[in-house]
Structure 1
Amino acid sequence: MFIDSDVTITQLLKTTGYTAACIGKWHLGWNWNSINMEPTGERTFWDKTQIAYLLEDLNWTKPVSGGPLDRGFDYYFGDGTINFPPYAWIENDKFVEAPNDFF
């Protein structure tokens, strides 16, 4: 997880006039709370049932924070997550389109 006080190489390079893009997966985390509403569903994970966010519990039109644009990059296109749902493409800080399923 990225700590706000951490500095990326891209942030340092920007101070000298560089422009940078990130293409691919972002492995430093996203702030999913920036698009969360209230969880309304239950899902079973590893034989345990727990409250979970469903697709309709998230506002897919809002920008998601914590990504490359917040860490010094000028442009981003890539996967919204590492190896877990929701599987969706993000351009800059917005979803290209909302995922149609979490699995």
Structure 2
Amino acid sequence: MSPVSEVQQIVLNKSSEVPSSSSANLNSGQRQQLQQQLDTLQAEWNLRNKKLRRIQEALAIETNVAVKFQLQQQRHDEEAQLESLANELDKIEQILQ
């Protein structure tokens, strides 16, 4: 099993439990992998959030209807991605607590 899929499996297993002492059940390798996954997801969230802000700025000044429509679609996609990332981050943070 690859490290990423192993981390995803840990997240899936632990998120169904989510007791406050769930991190006590992690070995140091699992904890480290989850922390790395958390850091990676947080970095991606930060980049996508920055992109969303730029899309919103572009929307505010754009006058071309076709371009504006495209920007609105991009904004919608980025918002969905941010929400998904935020959910994953929350799950991992709960496991690590």
Report the TM-score, using the length of structure 1 for normalisation.
Answer: 0.24
| Larger Rg computed on CA atoms | 2
Report the TM-score, using the length of structure 2 for normalisation.
Answer: 0.25
Higher strand share goes to which structure? 1
